[in-house]
C-alpha cells in the first residue's frame, strides 16, 4: 500500500475527509493571524482552552489537540520559522515542522493529514523554497513510513502557492 501526496487550493478549515489538519501556529499556540486564526475561529473556544494546557510549542516541534467544531478529528499544531534571509537555520526548522507533524500523526494513529503552507504568510518564508522543503520532507517521511501514512494533502490558500507546491511535487517526483 502506498501513500499519496495531493495539492489543492482551498480552505483548510473545511477539510472533512481527512483525520487531521495542521495548524501553522505561533509559539504560544494561543491563536494568531492567517491559518492559525482561521483554525481557532472555526474550532471554537474549546481549542484555545486545550492549547493553554500545552504550554506552547518550540519552532520545528508539533503538538496534537482535538478539533472541536472543525470537520476533522485532530489538529496538529506546529511552529515554522520566521524567514531571516536563509542563513539562520530556517530550512532545517521548516523541515522539522513538517517531519515532526507527520511523526505526531503516526504516533497517534493518524493516516490522513492536510497541511497549509507553513511559514509563508506573516513569517515571510519564500513560497518556492518553502514548497520544495515541504514536499521533499513529506516524501522522505512517507517513504520511510510507507505503511503508516495514506494521504498527505497540501491545502493552499491561493493559485500562486498552489502552483509552487505543484511544481515542488513534480520536481521531487523527478528526483526519485
Of the chain, the percentage scoring pLDDT greater than 70 comes to 99
Q: What is the pLDDT of residue 174?
A: 82
Per-residue pLDDT reduced to its tens digit, 125-157: 999 999 999 999 999 999 999 999 999 999 999
Q: Which domain CATH number covers 168? A: 3.40.220.10
Domain count, the chain: 1
Domain that holds residue 118: 4-174
Nearest to 18 by CA among 124, 120, 105, 132: 105
Sign for the CA dihedral angle at 162, 152, 3, 133 comes to positive
pLDDT for 45-66, tens place per residue?
Answer: 999 999 999 999 999 999 999 9
Task: Compute the distance between CA of residue 85 and CA of residue 62 in angstroms, rounded to an integer.
Answer: 24
Q: What is the pLDDT of residues 81-110, one digit of tens each?
A: 999 999 999 999 999 999 999 999 999 999
pTM of this structure:
0.97
Tell me, yes or no, if 36 is annotated catalytic: yes
The DSSP letter of residue 83 is P
Among residues 11, 17, 36, 158, which one is catalytic? 36
Amino acid at each position: 500500500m502506498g501513500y499519496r501526496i495531493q495539492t489543492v487550493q482551498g480552505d483548510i478549515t473545511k477539510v472533512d475527509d481527512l483525520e487531521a489538519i495542521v495548524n501553522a501556529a505561533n509559539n504560544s499556540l494561543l491563536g494568531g493571524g492567517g491559518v492559525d486564526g482561521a483554525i481557532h475561529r472555526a474550532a471554537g473556544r474549546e481549542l484555545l482552552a486545550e492549547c493553554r494546557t500545552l504550554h506552547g510549542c518550540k519552532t520545528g516541534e508539533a503538538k496534537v489537540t482535538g478539533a472541536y467544531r472543525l470537520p476533522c478529528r485532530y489538529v496538529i499544531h506546529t511552529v515554522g520559522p520566521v524567514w531571516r534571509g536563509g542563513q539562520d537555520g530556517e530550512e532545517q526548522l521548516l523541515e522539522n515542522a513538517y517531519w515532526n507533524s507527520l511523526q505526531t500523526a503516526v504516533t497517534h494513529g493518524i493516516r490522513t493529514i492536510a497541511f497549509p503552507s507553513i511559514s509563508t504568510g506573516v513569517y515571510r518564508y519564500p513560497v518556492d523554497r518553502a514548497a520544495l522543503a515541504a514536499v521533499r520532507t513529506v516524501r522522505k517521511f512517507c517513504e520511510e513510513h510507507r505503511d503508516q501514512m495514506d494521504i498527505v494533502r497540501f491545502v493552499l490558500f491561493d493559485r500562486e502557492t498552489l502552483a509552487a507546491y505543484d511544481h515542488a511535487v513534480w520536481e521531487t517526483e523527478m528526483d526519485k
